[in-house]
Structure 1
């Protein structure tokens, strides 16, 4: 068994982060999941939420993922999403503006709730990284 997890955080257009970590925390449709070495194999659907990776070296990596999947097997964790932003890449003012716009659309737009979740996840990612 490996000493650490091998983790990849991947967006549709790039590998956002890859390396060794001691823990990964993500939110699935069933709830939050924490992955440590020796975790049972799993495949789950992610919600629009924050993903936290505790690298072996360096500060915690905090990112906002727009849904996707998390796969765990043999101490390898893959987090796959169409769109991922690291906390330092997020314009928090733009996220707050998007949140306000989306909140004004409630009841008139099926996408409003999803836009709210994504904006809230981006704001939480920045706050967690501070």
Structure 2
């Protein structure tokens, strides 16, 4: 068996459900490659692009935090949000990135919580931009 079922779920909907050959994600410990037969595992995910390889080719998604659960022949990603390249509004992401960078530069007036929020907003924007441009949608 050289595939496994990958399901990507957000609080709103099932984003992705297909048999795939491999998955590459960024977990708390760094980059992780998941292949069929991987040992069972649960790990938090960072805000980063996720790469899926299947019969149809390679798909990249923008995944914003959450958890990865590896079971015997199924992998579930429970994400706060996950977007396919076609769903990403590049101009909005660019604007969000600039907003977040401006907020981080004027950090004199910012408390820790605000600073963390701005950093996460920046990571999310950068992840969206990477995913959308990687797929050739400009």
Give the TM-score taking structure 2 as reference length: 0.87
Find the partner of 1:97 among 95, 98, 109. Answer: 95
CA displacement at 1:39 relative to structure 2: 0.9
CA RMSD of aligned residues (A): 1.1
Larger gyration radius, structure 1 or structure 2: 2
Measure, in 2, the Cα distance between the counterparts of 1:29 and 1:112. 20
CA displacement at 1:101 relative to structure 2: 0.3
Counterpart in the other structure of 1:40 = 39
Measure, in 2, the Cα distance between the counterparts of 1:87 and 1:31. 23
Structure 2: state its 5+ residue gaps.
none
Moved over 2 A (4+): 107-110
Counterpart in the other structure of 1:79 = 77
Find the partner of 1:126 among 109, 129, 132. Answer: 132
Counterpart in the other structure of 1:54 = 53
The structure with more helix, counted as a fraction of residues: 2
Counterpart in the other structure of 1:7 = 6
CA displacement at 1:128 relative to structure 2: 2.3
Determine if the alignment matches structure 1 residue 116 to structure 2 residue 111.
Answer: no
CA displacement at 1:113 relative to structure 2: 0.4
CA displacement at 1:95 relative to structure 2: 0.4
Residue pairs, 1:9-28, within 5 angstroms: 9-28=8-27
Structure 1: state its 5+ residue gaps.
none
The structure with more strand, counted as a fraction of residues: 1
Measure, in 1, the Cα distance between the counterparts of 2:127 and 2:94. 11
* Paired residue secondary structure (1:67): strand
